[in-house]
A and B are shown apart, each in its own frame.
Chain A
Amino acid sequence: MSHHHDLPLNKDITARFVPKIVALMVYLGTLCFVFTLFMIHSSALWENQLTTPLSVEMPTLKTTEANSLPSRVLDLLNQTPGIQHAAVVPQKEMASLFHSLLGEDIDVDLFSLPIIIDVSLNNQEKVNFQRLEAGLKNISPHVHVTDHRGWQIQVSNLFHTSIFIAFFITILILFGALATATFATKTSLLIHGQVIEILSLVGATNSYIAKQFQVHAFKQALIASIIGSSFAFLTFFGLVILLEKAELPFVVHSSFFSQTLWVFGLAPVFMAFAMMLSVRIAVMKVLRS
């Protein structure tokens, strides 16, 4: 497309600071959005995998009475209304949990691992928690039942609030960038007032004039956003490597990282179109008055 610059837009003062601000905003916005996705992803994982509403814990005692303890507890649990399923967590799984927390070198047998029963609920009936607790105490005073639902809801709420805030900040950054473009356009309109007047005297329509601003804004935003988004990608990549080196356990699937790449590719295109649109709106509004 051969396009003519009837307005010297890339020579004015706004051309010096707008690309830098846009690049910075895209950098921050993209990272913030990826963080939002990360939170959504890990909260979904967490809610799917880590939710055991109730668990029952008992020590491994070396008595004959203790051997029948798990089965008596299981019987009681399975008869309790509102409980769908109760199962003993296998010792292997317990051991691997300990390994993941304390390292592979730990000899798990040194600990006397408790027996843990995971309980899943059926959602139609409510469990009478106090009666269950009393029933279990009746079997053995060493049996404890823990209700995880309270803190699980709290963690869940925390996840959702963080997701909301992160997304909200992303939107704020986007609006910040668009507002910058609008202010800069208004400044540009003032700077080029005389040129615009001459264009309109020779018969240029408002949309012809607006198009000059749009094309300029699109190119400017695209280049600036590609730079901003590239830096965001490098930062993201760096963080991933850093976190992996620190051997922190990600509460996230590794496919998340490859799935997020589209954000870095799409951000510049999205930004360029959004800037073009907001610049058009600003120009048309000023020219009409």
Chain B
Amino acid sequence: MSDFIAQLIGLGHQYKGVPEIFKDVTFGIEKGSFHFLTGPSGSGKSSLLKMLYLGLKPTWGSLQLFGEDTLKMQSRLVPLLRQKIGVIFQEFKLLEHLKVVDNVALPLRVRGVDAKQCRKQAQELLEWVGLGESLDVYPPSLSGGQKQRVAIARAVIAQPELLLADEPTGNVDDNMAMKLLYLFEELNKRGTAVIIATHNPRLIERSAHPHLTLTEGTILQLPKCTVLS
């Protein structure tokens, strides 16, 4: 077994009818690593993460995930790989007809964890992100920042091997942002590889993790603590 969770080689993507967003992205995500992913708006950060959680097929190149060649593997493996990945979507993607606690417990439920255990873990996590009062509330009545924290709790509850966070601190104040960064780092210490796509320079400044920048269709790997704005 290699120590890479994901290996991207010459990866590129083009949406129909528009110029390609990136064309030659090559890098590897090691087990237990921590990266920031930056780049101007529209550079393709969300699209790159989408490829990593198998929501978007690359137009060029190859993508290995957990040792599987994603372009050649059987489709029945897709859910199994996704169960190893936690995603915080830029637009949250919460289920509006489910209570907050059930939203958070969703990844556990699809893995077959029993209802009682699901609720217990979801409750703990929600208390930690400051939403202990909102367990039985439905997402439409939450603020943007609250929804974001629900989305984060859902992404981390199953202790994934890879956490993909798309602007996870875009809707919260600095204090909460730092608290969430601390959560990601705690998870990282337990072995989860983390990639955070962000525009937030303070987040990058205050931690000592390397960051990847998407510019002109390729990835530029910057040394630790270098801030590019």
* Chain A residues in the interface with B (C-beta under 8 A): 2, 4, 6, 8, 11, 195, 198-206, 208, 288
Contact = CB atoms under 8 A, between A and B. Distances in A.
Contacts of B111: 203
B199 interface: no
Interface of B: 53, 55, 75-76, 78-80, 82-83, 85, 87, 89, 93, 95, 97-98, 102, 106-107, 109-111, 115, 154, 158
Given A199-B110, A203-B83, A205-B110, A6 B115 contact: no
Contacts of B76: 205-206
A11 B96 CA distance: 13
B102 A206 contact: no
A198 B93 contact: yes
A48 to B, nearest CB: 57
Contacts of B80: 203, 205
B110 A201 contact: no
17 contacts: A4-B102, A4-B109, A11-B97, A200-B79, A201-B82, A201-B87, A202-B106, A203-B79, A203-B107, A203-B110, A204-B79, A205-B76, A205-B79, A205-B110, A206-B76, A206-B79, A208-B110
A6 B107 CA distance: 11
A202 B82 contact: yes
Contacts of B89: 201
Nearest to B89: A201
Contacts of B75: 288
A202 B107 contact: yes
A205 B111 CA distance: 9
Contacts of A199: 106, 110
A202 B110 contact: yes
B79 A4 contact: no
A60 to B, nearest CB: 86
Contacts of A195: 95, 97
A8 B109 contact: no
Task: Point out which of A198, A200, A202 has the most chain B C-beta atoms below 10 A from its C-beta.
Answer: A202
Nearest to B75: A288
B53 A204 contact: no
B223 to A, nearest CB: 33
Contacts of A201: 53, 55, 82, 87, 89, 93
A99 B34 CA distance: 100
**Shortest beta-carbon contacts, A-B, top 4:** A203-B83, A204-B110, A203-B82, A8-B97
A199 B79 CA distance: 10
Contacts of A8: 97
Nearest to B78: A200
Task: Point out which of A199, A201, A288 has the most chain B C-beta atoms below 10 A from its C-beta.
Answer: A201
A206 B78 CA distance: 10
Given A200-B78, A201-B89, 17 more contacts: A4-B102, A4-B109, A6-B95, A6-B109, A195-B97, A199-B110, A200-B79, A201-B53, A201-B55, A201-B87, A202-B82, A203-B82, A204-B110, A205-B76, A205-B80, A206-B79, A208-B110
Contacts of A208: 79, 110
A60 B115 CA distance: 89
Nearest to A289: B75
B50 to A, nearest CB: 10
Contacts of A202: 82, 87, 106-107, 110, 154
A208 to B, nearest CB: 5
Contacts of B85: 203
Contacts of B102: 4
Contacts of A288: 75
A8 B138 CA distance: 13
Nearest to A4: B109
A200 B82 contact: yes
Contacts of B78: 200
Nearest to A3: B115
Contact of B106 (A2, A6, A11, A206): A6
Nearest to B105: A4
B98 A2 contact: no
